[in-house]
Chain A
Amino acid sequence: MSGSEPRPFVVFGFDSVHDTLAAEDVLRSGRVPAVTIPSPRELGELCGIALRVEPSAAPDVEAALAAAGTPARARATILDR
């Protein structure tokens, strides 16, 4: 088990797996680090996948996704390791 303390991350949820992967592509192209994770309940979902980013990157993520026409459907902050 990891001994690291939970810290805040921002998670973005999308309408579909397709949209999540499209958003992942956008972020990858813009070299914005994002991790694909199971959708946390904070997004209102118990199934599917979501993108997790550092809080400091969240504004850039929102801007990049909006510019690409693939905005997130939901955003939440979670504590994670």
Chain B
Amino acid sequence: MTESARVVYLDNGATSWPKPPEVIEAMASAMREQGANPGRGAYPMALAASRVVFESRRACADILGVPDSRDLVFLAGCTQACNLMLKGLLEPGDRVVVSSMEHNAVTRPLHVLSQQGVVVEVVAADSTGLVDALDMERAVKAAPTKAVVCQHASNVTGAIQPIADLADIAHENGALLLVDGAQGGGHLDIDLAGLEVDAYAVSGHKGLLGPQGVGLLYLRPGLDARELTQGGTGGSSSEQDAQPQGRPERYEAGTPNTPGIAGVGAAARLLAVHGAEWRAEEQRHFRMLKEGLLAMAGVTVYGPALNEPSVPVLSITHDTIDPDRIAFLLDRRAGVAVRAGLHCAPWAHRTIGTLETGAVRFGVGYATTEADVRTALAALAEVLA
């Protein structure tokens, strides 16, 4: 038995696993057959690499509801996308309204920006992690605001935030809506143009099912975010010292991660075909897990009520056994892979009341089975007995 064969993988909030075979093959093919640098030559292999990037961008744009794929930028991860979104758009003196559920990918860039003179107003979510749009509106109206910053879904409780309402609130008050969509991509049916967000950061390796090392940032047409990195883009204007301002090159200086981009493109093409079916199965297995956890004595489940919308992530604590101990025993006794701790989201844990203890997070994915859920629940019951 291989190490991976015995794993009941429920850490899909961190990264999805296993990756679809098509993703792995696309990455291998990119290295094997399209291994030249994309955008840097006109010989067949270089053009093939360029087309891999081009077609992957279009495939991702299709499943995210982005009409013009040039508005979707490939980066090295969602954290980089969040950094570009925030540092590229905010300036000293700006005021932002942000939810208390944000991940460190947002809070740490905001911390740096606050030291440079950006005013950060935090609005508390409720104990399930849900942000009240009216609370956000009150905060926005309290003073001139440059941007509303909010996640699409919580990486701790699974709560889905009212992004469409927040877009209206932001725009009615002359502000931008900047969204960390790390837990949204792939798990939710997303139409970014329809949501009218101004910027939206996506992880390539979570619900989108691609490999680690790829993230995407959507910038609505005309939004002038400063690029954070300058360098070679391979295409036009090589003779100029100034960074080209056209999209997507402006934000993609340096050699791109072609194998990773090939993988996320292959994943996007799969999601275009199977996404609705996979999301339905994820939700069915997630509900099964949540029902089982809610029925366990001594267990507190952090997340929206059973019938409320949620991405397939939740956290739990136990009355007497620490989260790290639960995670360790689940792994040792039954090969159940979950993550204990603060999940890089101390603000969120402070909001739901678990900052001191942390919590155990379960994340269901497209490949999770009923047997996985039953195994995890039985193992947890034994650990807690």
Contacts and interface: CB of A to CB of B under 8 A. Distances in A.
Chain A complexes with chain B = yes
A73 B41 CA distance: 19
Interface stretch (B105-113, B160-168, B233-241): B233-241
Interface string B48-71: 001100100100000000000110
A46 B235 contact: no
A30 B166 CA distance: 43
Given A38-B41, A49-B50, A18 B238 contact: no
B51 A45 contact: no
Interface string A33-51: 0001111000001111100
Given A13-B236, A16-B236, A36 B47 contact: yes
A46 B40 CA distance: 11
Contacts of A49: 39, 41-42, 47, 50, 235
Interface stretch (B115-123, B211-219, B243-251): B243-251
A17 interface: yes
Q: At the interface, is chain B mostly helix, strand, loop or mixed?
A: loop
Contacts of B38: 17
A76 B79 CA distance: 43
Which interface residue of A17, A37, A45, A48 has the most chain B CB atoms within 10 A? A17
Nearest to A38: B42
A12 interface: no
Contact of B239 (A15, A19, A46): A46
Interface of A: 13-22, 36-39, 45-49, 73
Given A16-B249, A36-B42, A48 B236 contact: yes
Which interface residue of A16, A36, A48, A49 has the most chain B CB atoms within 10 A? A16
A48 B51 contact: no
B30 to A, nearest CB: 16
Nearest to B237: A45
Given A16-B70, A16-B236, 11 more contacts: A15-B246, A16-B233, A16-B246, A16-B247, A18-B69, A21-B51, A21-B54, A36-B47, A45-B238, A47-B238, A49-B235
A17 B39 contact: yes
Contact of B236 (A15, A36, A38): A15
A1 B156 CA distance: 65
A76 to B, nearest CB: 14
Given A22-B54, A36-B42, A49-B42, A14 B236 contact: yes
Nearest to B69: A18
Nearest to B246: A15
Interface string B247-260: 11100000000000
A14 B236 CA distance: 8
Given A15-B246, A16-B244, A16-B249, A21 B50 contact: yes
Contacts of B69: 18
A39 B41 CA distance: 9
